[in-house]
């Protein structure tokens, strides 16, 4: 596959999603004084009347540490839904980020805002933005990414099982890194980092004429918020970090997550076994596990319309993170065993779709720009340890493994947290496998005065204005609107495992 020239690899046009780095005139200011808002692209949903969403763009330096006026620029896409309350009720701006890294935040201003408590909607202009390298903000292109999008062949398996497969796995990671270096450009790779994105966030604040940035970040968004607090502690207003990524190197986080997914999958097997009449996969954990492995082995040996072991593992990864998806996963296993089709296992959007390609490329480029990567020897050692825990793990989330072969490996990791930041509200689900709760406990140490809100007996990723829990939502709303910081950590009663009904 051919790749775009390196000098034009970072895309900048807001409307079309394609363009080049922008060399601005020498007299241009580092950032514009205002964002000029207008109509949004079709990818942004419209809120219910009478509210409206508007979109604009902001030019920022590729490298904030050397923001030469005539140097390379990126174009950041921004969306806004204004506060619905009175001027007296308004509290400023609330930037939001949905996670990733690689998630598009432009539509999130609409979709997340619709779920927020009314008091928060009345108080804040909700600001969405696509972080650099994602969505419509100079999206990165890593081309074939080492064959990532062509991997559902009969001989493809994302889990190496022997030395020959391990060698092939490392070669694919090297090829992925090479493709990103070619597609994005060696000189641009270092600046697609969380640290630089945090600078973009402050440029958005300045362009909107606000003194403070309030922020709601979910998953990777928590990492981004913590990085903003490091660089701009005195510009933080209120900050809610939900489903917190731990303050570790990305590869270390990926390993922690992979082990948590094994525990969550066992919980899923046990839950499914409690409902043999509903799912028909057996009445004990080992029977369900055997059914699971038969489905995966069958799809690995003979993919169905491009749906093989790689796609199956991705479907499992996605389903394990939200308990409301467990019934669909169990039904998909039953459907395949019954008639040989993936059924509800198949995602609505294929891995090779344009949005998916941008997400996967941005995910690696951000993770590898944020700090040092692992060595190939460390990767193999961790693979073998994981195999000893379970012979058939889920490695879908191990994106930072590619950083072992990255063309630019930072000597230091992104700094997170600051003792100078105001109290921050951290929110976590007690059994979230995607961002395990120990990450929230570790980050709290770097944000003195912060509080941790835990949703007990819950197994899902994404909590505030997501799980419908009144205790969590009211605590966060009181903090955001009235500045009420809980006296101590808060524990909220969770829903437990999903209740199965005949039509669930």
Query: What is the set of active-site residues?
Result: 219, 432, 461
Q: What is the 3-state secondary structure (H, E, C) of 411-459?
A: CCCCCCCCCCCCCCEEEEECCCCCCCCHHHHHHHHHCCCCEEEEECCCC
Ramachandran angles phi, psi of 260, nearest 5°: -65, -35
What span, in angstroms and rounded, lies between the C-alpha atoms of 17 and 7? Answer: 16
Please count the other Cβ atoms lying within 10 Å of the Cβ belonging to residue 324: 11
What span, in angstroms and rounded, lies between the C-alpha atoms of 31 and 35? Answer: 10
| SS3 state at 332 | helix
Name which of 273, 253, 259, 208 is nearest 54 in CA terms. 208
Pairing between strand 236-242 and 124-129?
unpaired
Ramachandran angles phi, psi of 283, nearest 5°: -115, 15
Taking the CA atoms of residue 199, residue 465, residue 251 and residue 437 in that order, the dihedral angle to the nearest 10 degrees is 120
What span, in angstroms and rounded, lies between the C-alpha atoms of 95 and 125? Answer: 8
Q: Which residues contact 377 (CB under 8 A, 6 or more apart)?
A: none
C-alpha distances in angstroms, 213 versus 64, 153, 418, 433, 450? 19, 47, 15, 30, 17
What span, in angstroms and rounded, lies between the C-alpha atoms of 23 and 151? Answer: 38
Name which of 278, 286, 380 is nearest 329 in CA terms. 278
Tokens of 43: 């990818």
Q: What is the 3-state secondary structure (H, E, C) of 152-190?
A: CCCCCCCCCCCHHHHHHHHHHHHHHHHHHHHHHCCCCHH
What span, in angstroms and rounded, lies between the C-alpha atoms of 504 and 491? Answer: 28
Helix (H) or strand (E) holding 54: strand 54-61
Name which of 439, 102, 60 is nearest 245 in CA terms. 439
Name which of 460, 126, 207, 139 is nearest 323 in CA terms. 460
C-alpha distances in angstroms, 16 versus 42, 60, 78, 130? 11, 18, 15, 14
Helix (H) or strand (E) holding 320: helix 309-320
What span, in angstroms and rounded, lies between the C-alpha atoms of 248 and 417? Answer: 12
């Amino acid at each position: 596959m051919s790749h775009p020239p390196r000098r034009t690899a970072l895309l900048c046009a807001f409307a079309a999603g394609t363009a080049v780095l922008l060399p601005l005139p020498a007299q241009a200011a580092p950032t514009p004084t205002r964002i000029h808002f207008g109509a949004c692209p079709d990818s942004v949903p419209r809120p219910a009347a009478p509210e409206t969403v508007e979109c604009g763009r902001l030019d920022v330096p590729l490298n904030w540490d050397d923001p030469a006026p005539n140097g390379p620029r990126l174009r950041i896409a921004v969306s806004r839904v204004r506060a619905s309350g009175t001027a007296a009720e308004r509290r400023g701006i609330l930037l939001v980020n949905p996670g990733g890294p690689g998630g598009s935040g432009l539509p999130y201003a609409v979709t997340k805002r619709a779920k927020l408590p009314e008091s928060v909607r009345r108080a804040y202009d909700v600001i969405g933005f696509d972080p650099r390298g994602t969505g419509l903000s100079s999206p990165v292109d890593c081309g074939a990414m080492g064959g990532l999008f062509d991997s559902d062949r009969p001989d493809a398996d994302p889990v190496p099982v022997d030395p020959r497969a391990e060698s092939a796995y490392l070669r694919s990671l090297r090829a992925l890194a090479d493709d990103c270096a070619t597609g994005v450009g060696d000189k641009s790779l270092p600046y697609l980092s969380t640290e630089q994105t945090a600078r973009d966030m402050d440029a958005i604040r300045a362009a909107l004429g606000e003194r403070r940035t309030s922020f709601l970040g979910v998953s990777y968004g928590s990492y981004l918020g913590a990085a903003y607090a490091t660089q701009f502690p005195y510009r933080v207003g209120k900050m809610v970090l939900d489903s917190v990524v731990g303050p570790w190197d990305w590869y270390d986080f990926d390993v922690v997550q992979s082990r948590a997914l094994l525990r969550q999958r066992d919980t899923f097997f046990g839950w499914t076994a409690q409902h043999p009449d509903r799912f028909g996969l057996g009445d004990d954990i080992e029977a369900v596990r055997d059914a699971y492995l038969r489905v995966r082995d069958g799809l690995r040996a003979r993919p169905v319309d491009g749906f093989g072991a790689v796609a199956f593992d991705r479907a499992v990864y996605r389903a394990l993170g939200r308990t409301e998806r467990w019934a669909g996963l169990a039904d998909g296993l039953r459907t395949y065993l019954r008639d040989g089709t993936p059924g509800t296992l198949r995602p609505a959007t294929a891995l090779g779709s344009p949005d998916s390609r941008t997400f996967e490329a941005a995910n690696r480029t951000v993770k590898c720009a944020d700090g040092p990567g692992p060595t190939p020897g460390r990767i193999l050692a961790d693979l073998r340890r994981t195999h000893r825990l379970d012979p058939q793990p889920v490695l879908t989330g191990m994106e930072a493994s590619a950083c072992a072969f990255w063309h630019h490996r930072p000597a230091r990791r992104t700094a997170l947290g600051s003792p100078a930041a105001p109290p921050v509200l951290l929110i976590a689900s007690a059994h979230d496998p995607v961002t395990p709760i120990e990450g929230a406990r570790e980050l709290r140490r770097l944000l003195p005065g912060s509080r941790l809100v835990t949703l007990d007996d819950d197994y899902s990723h994404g909590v505030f204005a997501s799980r419908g829990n009144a205790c969590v939502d009211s605590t966060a709303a009181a903090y955001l609107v009235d500045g009420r910081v809980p006296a101590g950590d808060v524990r909220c009663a969770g829903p437990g495992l999903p209740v199965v009904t005949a039509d669930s």
